[in-house]
Amino acid sequence: MADTAPAATESTTDLNLPLETVDPKVAELADAEARRQAEKIRLIPSENYVSRAVLDATATLLTNKYSEGYPGKRYYEGQQVIDQVERLAIERAQSLFEVEHANVQPYSGSPANLAVYLAFLEPGDKVMGMALPMGGHLTHGWSVSATGKWFRPIQYDVGRETGRVDLDQVRELALAERPKLIFCGGTAIPRLIDFEGFAAIAEEVEAILCADIAHIAGLVAGGAHPSPAPHADVISTTTHKTLRGPRGAMLMSREEHASALDRAVFPGLQGGPHNHTTAAIAVALHEAATEEFRAYAHQIVSNAKALADGLIERGFDLVSGGTDNHLILVDLTNKDIGGKPAAQALDRAGIELNYNTVPYDPRKPFDPSGIRLGTPAVTTRGMTPDDMPRVAGWIDAAVEAAKREDEPALEATAAEVRDFTSAFPLPGVAA
């Protein structure tokens, strides 16, 4: 118990004392995580480092307020300030993504996507999305998700040889099955998404098209990936990946779908919005509207291409042969090592990424053939394409060391990585 609970001293009842005094254990863990994030090369493509301003907004007293409803139509009094915060976030989302409507209340990506179902489908209706092992998302109708159990999923693949979506196959399937909702986007797609092509198919079968841009929202905002805004009925996104905001989500659409989406989020699925998160989303959107962020978005892609080239030079087999965005999916079959032991060894070597299925993976999802990596966080840290060959070299060295079960070699790489990362200040903390 002594390890997990603060000592019951008088000081814990003083509500103005800082964390390190009231709960040194939690403070210590937060510091340890900051050190870990500083010392690693963080390549999980859905992660980032938020700015100090985003962190500050997250830690405000806005967390104390309940505000079920929407600006001007709340179920609790005292919304004079919260309404302004939420309107600001909405206006910034509308302006940045050039959309008529934005809902900034979804708690995260999965609830946001569930709200899309609630807005447009009845249980048992057909939904079409990319299969999870091909790079889709659980909430696009995968069998273990509520969306695959309560709706009838139709799943499309990527080409076995190309690793890319084949829109002719998607169209054929859509015409045969006539889903009511089609998702494009996903979690392990290294190539551009043809929103216009998907919209043409959705229109032909009279389906709602939802573009899930959770991974690429920052690239879209920064002009480094085409925007779905002119094409999709609904845009769903998280706010904490390439967009570099707090953990949260947004739904955006044309005005005609505004009230269906709003009713689905509240009261359909959620209670009170997390107002401190809304404020931090507003800050992230403000940051994403700057020229610096546009440069950042393009640099993410340049870094990913440079890292992909470095890996290819070292004999790694990249799904689709490379990347157009922030993400690289590697099939390790030709390296004679599974994705999971490789990812675990890489973590010990100071390089953080995740094991992942690859299309048509003969292995199980908990022990798949691939690793997934990306460059949003290292780009925030200030790394450039010139740094990527070195990163690729460390990945190669760690994978070979893992095969030899050579722990000293992994430790040696971790030491080199610690030395390297110390030149890149940890974003989000005071200088």
Residue 375 binds ligand DSN (CB under 6 A):
no
Nearer to ligand DSN (CB atom), residue 46 or residue 278: 46
* Residue 348 a catalytic site member: no
Nearest approach, Cβ of residue 372 and ligand DSN (Å)? 8
State the minimum distance, in angstroms, from the CB of residue 247 to ligand DSN: 11
**Among residues 46, 239, 357, 369, which is the contact residue for ligand DSN, using CB under 6 A?**
46
Q: Which is nearer to ligand DSN, 85 or 304 (CB)?
A: 304
Catalytic residue, from 12, 56, 65, 66: name it.
66
Q: Please, which residues have CB within 8 angstroms of residue 27's CB and are 6 or more apart in sequence?
A: 19, 20
Tokens of 116: 């899309």
Catalytic site includes residue 296: no
* Contact by Cβ (8 Å): 241, 102: no
Instruction: Tell the smallest beta-carbon distance from residue 400 to ligand DSN (Å).
Output: 26
Active site residue 360: no
Cα distance between residue 383 and residue 241, in whole Å: 17
Which is catalytic among the residues 187, 238, 278, 323?
238
275, 86 in Cβ contact below 8 A? yes
Q: Which of 113, 187, 253, 275 binds ligand DSN (CB under 6 A)?
A: 187
Residue number with CB closer to ligand DSN (82 or 219): 219
Taking CB under 6 A as the criterion, the residue among 109, 148, 222, 339 binding ligand DSN is: 109
Nearer to ligand DSN among residue 109 and residue 350 (C-beta): 109
| Contact pattern for ligand DSN over residues 122 through 141, marking x by CB under 6 A | ---------------x----
Amino acid identity, residue 27? A
Task: List the alpha helices (DSSP H) in 230-270.
Answer: 258-263
| Cβ contact 304:325 at 8 Å | yes
275 lies in the binding site for ligand DSN (CB under 6 A): no
Beta carbon of residue 66, minimum distance to ligand DSN (angstroms, whole number): 27
- Tell the smallest beta-carbon distance from residue 152 to ligand DSN (Å): 22
190 binds ligand DSN (CB under 6 A): no
Among the options 23, 68, 125, 400, which is catalytic? 68
Residue 241 is a catalytic residue: yes
Task: Count the Cβ atoms, other than its own, within 10 Å of residue 95.
Answer: 12
How many other C-beta atoms can be found within 10 angstroms of the C-beta atom of residue 404?
9
Burial (CB count <10 Å: 0-12, 13-18, 19+), residue 105: buried
Comparison of 101 and 372: residue with beta carbon closer to ligand DSN: 372
- Report d(CA 181, CA 210) in Å as an integer: 7
Q: Reply yes or no on whether 212 is catalytic.
A: yes
Question: Would you count residue 227 as binding ligand DSN (CB under 6 A)?
Answer: no
Q: Cα–chain-centroid distance for residue 116?
A: 18
Minimum CB distance to ligand DSN smaller for 109 or for 370: 109
Active-site residue among 157, 212, 361, 387? 212
Cβ atoms of 96 and 102 within 8 Å: the answer is no
Catalytic residue selected from 92, 126, 180, 241 = 241
Tokens representing 13?
Answer: 């009842």
* Catalytic residue, candidates 178, 247, 263, 418: 247
37 binds ligand DSN (CB under 6 A): no
The β-bridge partners of 235 are 211, 252
* Residue 42 or 137 with smaller CB distance to ligand DSN: 137
Active site residue 247: yes
- Residues in the chain, total: 431
- Classified as helix, coil or strand, 369 is coil
Contact between 147 and ligand DSN per CB under 6 A: no
Residue nearest to ligand DSN (CB): 46
Phi/psi at 126 (5° precision): -90, 135
Residues 319, 325, 328, 329: what is their CA dihedral angle, to the nearest 10 degrees?
-40
* Count of residues that interact with ligand DSN, criterion CB under 6 A: 4
- Footprint of ligand DSN on 151-180 (CB under 6 A): none
Do β-strands 126-130 and 152-156 pair in parallel, antiparallel, or remain unpaired?
parallel
- Rounded distance, CA 13 to CA 188, Å? 47
Per-residue DSSP letter, 386: G
Show which residues are catalytic: 66, 68, 212, 238, 241, 247
Q: Please give the residue ranges that form the binding site for ligand DSN (CB under 6 A).
A: 46, 109, 137, 187
